[in-house]
Amino acid sequence: MPNPIYLDYHSTTPVDRRLIDVIYDSMIDNFGNPSSIDHLWGDRTLNLIKKAKQQIANLINCQAQEIIFTSGATESINTVIQGLTPPNHFIISPLEHKAVIDTCQAMVKRGLGKIRWLKVDKKGRIDLEYLEKMCLQGASLLCVMAANNEIGNIYPIQEIGKIAQTYNIPFLCDGSQAVGKIPLNFEDWGITFLTISGHKLYAPKGIGALIIKKGFTLQPLIYGGGHQNGLRSGTLNVSGIVALGEACYLRQLEMVEDEKAIALKRNHLQSILQAQIPSLIVNGDIDNRLAGNLHISIPDVPNSAIIARVRDKLAISTGSACTTETLAPSHVLRAINLEDELIEGALRIGIGKFTTHEEIEKSADILINIINQVLSIY
């Protein structure tokens, strides 16, 4: 059976084949432990780590020494939220990834903090005036993602960071969906903590990073050999780290042109679907969204009926891959007060660097035929 067309780039991206050489080298030829300081094998691997840090730093404008490597964004988020000295007052967007929301709620249940929620409108835009009012009251941590993993909204991080700085509030920005897709400036935008997940930008799964503004400290989640300034003990995932560094290097070179091309493909697919399915609704802030994001709803058509009919032809989703084992409706769509019929008919389409024009055309035909079939039934 041929593979379905892959349109789920928000869930994960294929690894860029150009990373294979650096991964192979770190596993076979330069396999040393970077903590082994007594011989050349360790020295060589440590140099690979330093190079990767600089590649990441160049992409997001941070200092190399501010980078801590983790297994991914979920670990990075937990390191920040659980690493603060309690009790803590969290200001959170209701559209945050569950890694942020669930971790903060777990701290509340343990009596270690409280949460104040930001306001969003029906397009998922954050009320910045209300955000400033919340910050005026003080807080231990402000949590706003750079881009949403479901509806694709891009948030004004520079403006939000400025507000956080004004009121001296540490700012955690989940950059999982944004790094490598849109410009981010850690140094100048008032971000205190930034998370990166490798598998969202064409690097392997299981590698990520946490950027911590110089001068800020956290308590570690993982104790052991005191690696990475004592914050995250454990032998470094060298192959993952060098792959993440190389992926960041390639994104810095190619991001602008790639995202322009991706947006054109997304817009083409959207226009075809809207022309053939008049009832189709595009969710989120269509003026400020990720180039590859197309989040749609078809009223009166359950998304489960669509997925069941396209799963061997198209890889699309009904929501975040991090919550698909639960049957509850998307917390993001609930937070923006989307009508029940639109939530039930919501589909997330994610287009990426390796999506071809031919795949877009074929995907449009498949979706139109299937949606019309289901409409005739419902």
Known active-site residue 322: yes
Alpha-helical segments (H) within the chain: 20-24, 40-60, 73-83, 98-109, 128-136, 157-166, 238-276, 303-310, 331-335, 340-344, 357-377
Given the residues 135, 173, 248, 322, the one annotated as active site: 322
Amino acid code (one letter) for 256: V
Q: Secondary structure of 12-29 in the HEC alphabet?
A: CCCCCHHHHHHHHHHHHH
Distance from C-alpha of 144 to C-alpha of 92, rounded to nearest angstrom:
6
Half-sphere exposure of 222 (CA within 13 A, CB side): 17
Strand 193-197 relative to strand 208-212, pairing: antiparallel
Q: Which of 150, 154, 213 is nearest to 178 (CA)?
A: 154
Distance from C-alpha of 277 to C-alpha of 108, rounded to nearest angstrom:
45
- Backbone angles phi and psi of 70, in degrees to 5: -135, -175
Q: Catalytic positions, please?
A: 322
